[in-house]
Amino acid sequence: MNCFTKFGYRVFQKAMWCAMWFLPWNQNKATLSGAGSIKELPRFLKDKGFKSILIVTDGGLFKLGMADPILAACEAEGMKGVVYHDVVPNPTIGNIEDGLKMYNDNGCDVIVALGGGSAMDCAKGIAARVARPKKSIPQMKGVLKVMHKLPPLVAIPTTSGTGSEATLAAVISNPETHEKYPINDPVLIPRYVVMDPELTKSLPKHITSTTGMDALTHAVEAYIGGENTSQTKKDAVEAVKLINENLKKAYDNGEDLDARNKMQQAAYLAGKAFTRAYVGYVHAVAHTLGGEYGVPHGLANAVILPYVLKAYGKSAHKKLAQLADVIGLKGNTKEEKANAFIAWIENMNAEMQIPTKILSREGGPLIQEERLPIMIQHALKEANPLYPCPQVWGKAEIEKIYRQIM
């Protein structure tokens, strides 16, 4: 990539950073919190004048009865509650259209996302279609393509990683093109957030680990990027601290509600950080793996993160060294501290049995050689010129990351 193209990308990123100050940011906060707080949600919404709730979740959580307390409370309050429970791990355009039909058919006036990032992405997509009924999801791909008032969104995270309860992004998959792309607009930030640590205590270990590393990726990519504010840096630093102190505790003992609650806080803070400061090439590559092969997003981020940080080299040493200082890692130089921070990530992955490569379920190669050119193109299209990474990469750098994780 020539220097003029790189310069043009940096100019675009600086313009975006300036424009961000004029956007209508919705500074949402945890509306309800504490064990069992989801039962209080229908009364809270009724008091605000809402009458019919669409709960968006996945089949697994629905079968576990996660939505039952909300539905029971709706009945007690004389409210209508319906559940769309067919969300897949990488939500599709079809999911959104089906959820939209249920919303309209039942006269809903509020959308509740119950789950991890997939449920929240789907709920945001449904809300965007409610607001823009004549605009398709592909037409809203990119930045500031919604820009209409949405029906109220309530986010109830059941994992501690995506940070979707605080973000302006909805990531959607198109099964026809094998593309996975974000819709970015401040109106997609949920209005209300419910943090109930009891919802996360039964998570399997591999979900606890990969969603936790997903939150770490959000915090790190936000912090080392070039569009930070004092608040995003503060949020990212606090998230890294909380993850360092609590992720392994939550992984080792799922019943540790204090650790679970602090991981919820970490995911939320990391979400606030990256929704304003953006992410980087880790996410660009991870999204192609989700769109092409259905690789869970947290797992992809956890595997890719150390490879990308190493590839950035000196351009990321200063900020990675600052993060190393935050969690008490030692080193005599910025390079040594940065390398110590990357090693800490690799050790966390190893301790939680996260692999170092992206493999098939049978343990063999997953990424197909013939699909690489398309995946590289999709990753570059997502990242450039939007993501303010420490370096501007082209095809060769992205291809190297793919080959390292293969």
Report the distance separating Cα 39 and Cα 192, nearest Å: 15
DSSP-derived 3-state class of residue 384:
coil
Statement to judge: residues 152 and 270 lie in one domain: no
Q: Which two tokens stand for residue 372?
A: 């690489």
Statement to judge: residues 212 and 195 lie in one domain: no
pLDDT category at 291 given cuts 50, 70, 90 is confident
Statement to judge: residues 167 and 279 lie in one domain: no
Neighbours of 158 (CB within 10 A): 25
Find residue 194's DSSP bridge partners: 32
Q: Which tens digits make up the pLDDT trace of 174-198?
A: 888 888 888 989 999 999 999 999 9
Burial class (CB in 10 A: 0-12, 13-18, 19+), 348: buried
Statement to judge: residues 234 and 372 lie in one domain: yes
In a domain, 19, yes or no: no
pTM of the model: 0.88
Q: Which tens digits make up the pLDDT trace of 25-60?
A: 766 766 788 888 999 999 999 999 999 999 999 999
Q: The domain that contains 56 carries what CATH number?
A: 3.40.50.1970
Q: The domain that contains 257 carries what CATH number?
A: 1.20.1090.10
Mean pLDDT of the 315-333 span? 98
Range list of β-strands (E), 129-175 = 142-143, 153-157, 169-174
Statement to judge: residues 155 and 239 lie in one domain: no
Find residue 143's DSSP bridge partners: 184
How much is the mean pLDDT over the chain? 94
In a domain, 4, yes or no: no
Max intra-chain CA distance, the chain: 64
Statement to judge: residues 256 and 381 lie in one domain: yes
In a domain, 13, yes or no: no
pLDDT of amino acid 177: 83
pLDDT of amino acid 397: 98
Report the distance separating Cα 263 and Cα 367, nearest Å: 32
Statement to judge: residues 337 and 262 lie in one domain: yes
pLDDT category at 375 given cuts 50, 70, 90 is very high
Q: Which residues contact 52 (CB under 8 A, 6 or more apart)?
A: 79, 80, 81, 82, 106, 107, 108, 109, 110
Q: What is the DSSP string of 100-121?
A: HHHHHHTT--EEEEEESHHHHH
DSSP-derived 3-state class of residue 393:
coil
**Residue ending a domain, choose from 199, 223, 253:** 199
Mean pLDDT of the 371-387 span? 96
Residue 342 pLDDT greater than 70, yes or no: yes
**Residue ending a domain, choose from 144, 173, 199:** 199
Statement to judge: residues 85 and 145 lie in one domain: yes
pLDDT of amino acid 314: 98
Mean pLDDT of the 229-249 span? 97
pLDDT of amino acid 146: 94
Domain that holds residue 138: 24-199
Residue 89 pLDDT greater than 90, yes or no: no
Q: How many structural domains does the chain have?
A: 2
Q: Which two tokens stand for residue 391?
A: 């370096």
Residue 96 pLDDT greater than 70, yes or no: yes
β-strands 179-184, 169-174 pairing = antiparallel
Lowest mean per-residue pLDDT among 21-25, 284-288, 325-329, 333-337: 21-25
| More confident of the two residues 103 and 1 | 103
